[in-house]
A and B are shown apart, each in its own frame.
Chain A
C-alpha cells in the first residue's frame, strides 16, 4: 500500500514548498526520510527546513529531539511549526 503523508507548511515556507501543503506518496519510515522526499518534490525545500526555527509536529504533537529518527506512518499529518519560546 503506498504511503500518503500530508505535510503542512507555515506561510514563510510556502514559496519554497509551492503551496500550503505537499503530499508525500513514497515509502518513508522517519521524519529524516520524509524531509529527503520533500526535497525531491520541491528542490531547495530541504535546505530551508535545515533551520533551527522549524520544528516538526506529527499528528499535532511536537517533536523536540531525535527528530530525524521519529517514525512516520501512513496517513500521518505532519506540520512544520516555526518555534521559539521567548516572547
Chain B
C-alpha cells in the first residue's frame, strides 16, 4: 500500500477537532503533490503514548512500509512537539522520527531551541512529511497558514548562511517570532551523519535525519508567528513557578549546568578511566580539556525557549585572524569527547573550531566523530591505507586534516564520501569486513557520547538496549556514577523501584535502573521536557512524574496517575521495539561492541574491567523480564495486542 493510501486510511480514523485544550493538529504534507491535510491525534493514542516522541511512534507505526528503504520518499519524516512543549519551563523540546538511513533501525532524535515551541504557536503538534518535492522546497508556516516556497536559492547553503538568508528574506527575528529547521549541504548530499539543524547549534542529530530530509528535497521548514498563549484546561503558570524553582534550586543546575554547561562532565570521565580515547583503545586523556580551560573562550550562555537553565555555552576563540568559525555555540560534552580524546586532540581551540564547523555543516558530532575515529584506527592498524584515503595520512590529533575531512564529508568528495557512509562503510564496500571488529556501534549507530562503559554495567546495558542504537540519552542511569547515591541503598532503591547494587561494576539489579530511566525519559520526551532537567538524568531532585502529571492536568485537563505515566513510558519503548522488530532487529542486536567484551579497560581505578558475556546475557534476560519483552526483543504477545488495540494495526 502506498504512503498516500496509508495516510488516507489513518486520516479516516483521526478526529477533526482537538481532543483536549492546548492540543495542536497533525499536519500531513505531501511534498510531491504540494498538498496538506490535517487532523488530531486520537485520545486513545495520547492515553497510551502521550504526545511528542510517543505520538511520533504512533504515526511511524501506522505509516511505515518496511519493504521500502529508509530514503524512499514513501517513508515519512515526522516532527512532534511534546504535550507541554512551549508552556512549561525547560519543556522546549520535540522529536524527529523516521527509519534511519544510517543505522537501518528506528530514527528518533530530539532537539530544543525554538522550533518545537513555535510549531505549537502555529497550531501544530506534529508534521508528517512524505513524497519527494520536484525541486528544493521550503515549507513556510506563517500564522498557521502553510505554503510551499521555492528553496532553489537556498540550495548549497550551510547553516550560518542559511539562517542569515532566511531571516533576511522572511523578515522575522530569531527567538522572538521566527524559528526554522533546515538541512545543509551535507543533508542535500545525503551524508549519513547529517542532522537537521534547529538553531545555531541545536540539531536533530542522530541516525541521519538530514539525509532523510534531503531525500524529500525539503530544505527547510520555517515558522513565523508571534508567540501566543495556548488555551489550557486550567491556570498553569503558578505551578510553572514551582517547577522553575525546583530546577534552579537543584545543585547540578545551579553549580554546573548554568555555569559551564555540559563540558564539566569531561573531568569525571577522565578521572574514572572511562573517557573513550582514540576510538576507545584508551580510556583517559589530557587534563588540558577540563571545563575550566574553556572559561576564557566562553563569553556567555544561551538557552532554549522559556528555559531558565540556559545551559548552552557560547564560544569565542579570539583569534588574531578570525574567520566565520571564530565564534559559535557549544561545545557540549559529547562534542568535546568525540572531537577531543576520541580523535587524539588535546587543544581547546581545536575542539571549539571543529565544533563550530560541524554546527555550520550540519553534522552530528557523535556519528561524525565516531566515523572519523573508526577510520583513524583502521589506518593505524594498516587495514586501510593512503590508497583508501586519497593520499591523506590519518594521524591522531591532526586537527587540520580532520577539518579538511569534515568539508570533504559534507561535499561527499574524496575520502569524505567514505566517511559519509558512517557505520555502513563495510556494507558499502569501502572497508574490508575485518574493520567491523573496531567499529564502536550498536544497531548500526555509533556511540553518542564518549563514555567508555566497560566499568559501569548499567551504562553498558543502556547502550545495548536503546531503541535507536548506541545512545546514552535514551536510558542512561547517570546516577550510577554518583558515590553519595551509591552509598545510600535505601534511597537508591526508592529511586529505581528496587535494589540496585552500589558497586558500579556489578551486574546486580542494573536492569532496574535502566528500566526506570528508560520509562521516565520516554515520558519526558513525550511531554517535551529537556533530558537535562528530567529526574534521574543528572539529579534525583529534578522534575519527574508528579510534576508532569500535575501540569498535564492543568494544561490538557487529562488526568494521569504516576503509574499510568510510567506505563506510557514503557509503551513508547514497546512501540519502538515493535517498529524495530519489523526492521529486523532481534535480541542478538541488544549487544555491545566486541572491544568492550574482549579487551580490558587499560587505565584508571577500574583498570582491567571489561564486560563478561555470560553476566551481560543474564542481565539482558532480567531486563527483558521486567520490560515485558519476549525472547525476540519485541513486546510479549498480550502487551503487543494491547498496544495494537490502542494504536491500530501496522498495515
A69 to chain B, nearest CB (A): 9
Residues of the B chain whose Cβ atoms lie less than 8 Å from the Cβ of A57:
271
CB contact between A61 and one of B333, B480, B605 (< 8 Å): that residue: B605
Total number of A residues with any Cβ neighbor in B under 8 Å:
28
Q: Say whether B269 contacts A85, CB under 8 Å.
A: yes
* Interface assignment of B252: CB less than 8 Å from any CB of chain A: yes
Q: Say whether A87 contacts B334, CB under 8 Å.
A: yes
A22→B607 CA distance, assembly (Å): 30
* Interface assignment of A26: CB less than 8 Å from any CB of chain B: no
Q: Say whether A62 contacts B503, CB under 8 Å.
A: no
* Interface assignment of B255: CB less than 8 Å from any CB of chain A: yes
Residues of the B chain whose Cβ atoms lie less than 8 Å from the Cβ of A67:
483-484, 487
Q: Say whether B483 contacts A55, CB under 8 Å.
A: yes
Q: Determine, out of B215-223, B237-245, B259-267, B560-568, the stretch whose residues face the partner at the interface.
A: B259-267
Which A-chain residue is minimally distant from B268 (CB atoms)?
A83
A54→B251 CA distance, assembly (Å): 10
Residues of the A chain whose Cβ atoms lie less than 8 Å from the Cβ of B532:
86-87
Residues of the B chain whose Cβ atoms lie less than 8 Å from the Cβ of A50:
484
Q: Say whether B459 contacts A84, CB under 8 Å.
A: no
* Interface assignment of A46: CB less than 8 Å from any CB of chain B: no
Which A-chain residue is minimally distant from B479 (CB atoms)?
A52
Contact of A82 with B487 at beta-carbon distance under 8 Å, contacts A61-B604, A62-B271, A65-B504 already known = no
B513 to chain A, nearest CB (A): 12
CB contact between B264 and one of A51, A61, A66, A82 (< 8 Å): that residue: A82
CB contact between B487 and one of A53, A60, A68 (< 8 Å): that residue: A68
Q: Determine, out of B299-307, B470-478, B545-553, the stretch whose residues face the partner at the interface.
A: B470-478
Q: Say whether A86 contacts B538, CB under 8 Å.
A: yes
Which A-chain residue is minimally distant from B254 (CB atoms)?
A12
Residues of the B chain whose Cβ atoms lie less than 8 Å from the Cβ of A63:
483, 605
| Nearest 6 CB-CB pairings of A with B | A87-B262, A87-B333, A12-B255, A65-B486, A86-B478, A83-B268
Q: Say whether B605 contacts A53, CB under 8 Å.
A: no
Residues of the A chain whose Cβ atoms lie less than 8 Å from the Cβ of B263:
87
* A interface residues (Cβ-Cβ under 8 A, vs B): 10-12, 50-57, 60-68, 79, 81-87
Residues of the A chain whose Cβ atoms lie less than 8 Å from the Cβ of B486:
64-65
A22→B503 CA distance, assembly (Å): 30
A38→B522 CA distance, assembly (Å): 41
A66→B486 CA distance, assembly (Å): 8
A11→B539 CA distance, assembly (Å): 19
Mind listing 11 A-B residue pairs with CB under 8 Å?
Answer: A53-B539, A61-B273, A64-B486, A65-B486, A65-B503, A81-B268, A83-B265, A84-B538, A85-B268, A86-B472, A87-B449
Total number of B residues with any Cβ neighbor in A under 8 Å:
49
Residues of the A chain whose Cβ atoms lie less than 8 Å from the Cβ of B332:
87
Q: Say whether A51 contacts B484, CB under 8 Å.
A: yes
Extra contacts besides A84-B481, A87-B334 (9): CB < 8 Å: A12-B255, A55-B268, A62-B272, A79-B271, A82-B256, A84-B252, A85-B472, A86-B473, A86-B538
A70 to chain B, nearest CB (A): 9
Q: Say whether A11 contacts B259, CB under 8 Å.
A: yes
A66→B168 CA distance, assembly (Å): 59
Q: Say whether B605 contacts A82, CB under 8 Å.
A: no
* Interface assignment of B451: CB less than 8 Å from any CB of chain A: yes
Question: Which of B272, B451, B503, B504 counts the most A-chain CB atoms under 10 A from its CB?
Answer: B272
* Interface assignment of B531: CB less than 8 Å from any CB of chain A: yes
B642 to chain A, nearest CB (A): 31
Residues of the B chain whose Cβ atoms lie less than 8 Å from the Cβ of A87:
261-263, 265, 332-334, 449, 532
A48→B433 CA distance, assembly (Å): 53
* Interface assignment of B348: CB less than 8 Å from any CB of chain A: no
A79→B255 CA distance, assembly (Å): 16
Q: Say whether A84 contacts B251, CB under 8 Å.
A: no
A60→B262 CA distance, assembly (Å): 21
Residues of the A chain whose Cβ atoms lie less than 8 Å from the Cβ of B256:
12, 53, 82, 84
Q: Say whether B478 contacts A52, CB under 8 Å.
A: no
Contact of A51 with B265 at beta-carbon distance under 8 Å, contacts A56-B483, A63-B605, A87-B449 already known = no
Which A-chain residue is minimally distant from B337 (CB atoms)?
A87
